[in-house]
Amino acid sequence: MNESKRFLSASKAVAIGSLIVNLPVFALLFGPALATMSIGRQDLMVLVLPLSFVAAWGWWSFSVPRWRLWAYERVESTSEVYQKAIAAGLVWRKGSFFERTEIKSLAQRQRQAQLEQGSP
C-alpha cells in the first residue's frame, strides 16, 4: 500500500478493533446467559455457557486476523499497533497458545508477514 494512504493512528486502529472484535465477543459471551436468566430458564445455563464461550472464541479467532490486516494496511507502524493491541487485550503475544487459535488463510499469513516486514 502506498505510504500516503497510511493515515490511521495506532490508537485509533486499536479502538476500532476493540469495537469490531471485542464488543461482539462480550455480546456473544454474556448475551445468551442474560437472555436465559431473563426468561427464567437458569436450568439451561449448563448448556448456554459453554456454547457462548465457543461462539465468542470463534468470533475472536476469525475476526482478529482480518482486523489486523485492515489496521496494518492503514498505519505507519505495525509494531505500534501490535503493542497497543496487546495492552488493550485485543490480541495475544506471538507464539502464545491463544495466538495460535487465530483462524487465517495462508494468504492472510503471508500478507501479515509482508506488512510487518515493511513497517517499523
* 13-56 tens-digit pLDDT: 999 999 999 999 999 999 999 999 999 999 999 999 999 999 99
Is this structure's pTM higher than 0.85? yes
Task: Output the pLDDT for position 99.
Answer: 95
pLDDT tens digits for 75-117? Answer: 999 999 999 999 999 999 999 999 999 999 999 999 999 999 9
Task: Output the pLDDT for position 1.
Answer: 47
Task: Output the pLDDT for position 5.
Answer: 67
Residue by residue, DSSP assigns 9-70 as: -HHHHHHHHIIIIIHHHHHHHHHHHHHHHHTT-GGGHHHHHHHHHHHHHHHHHHHHHHHHHH
pLDDT higher than threshold 90 for residue 119? no
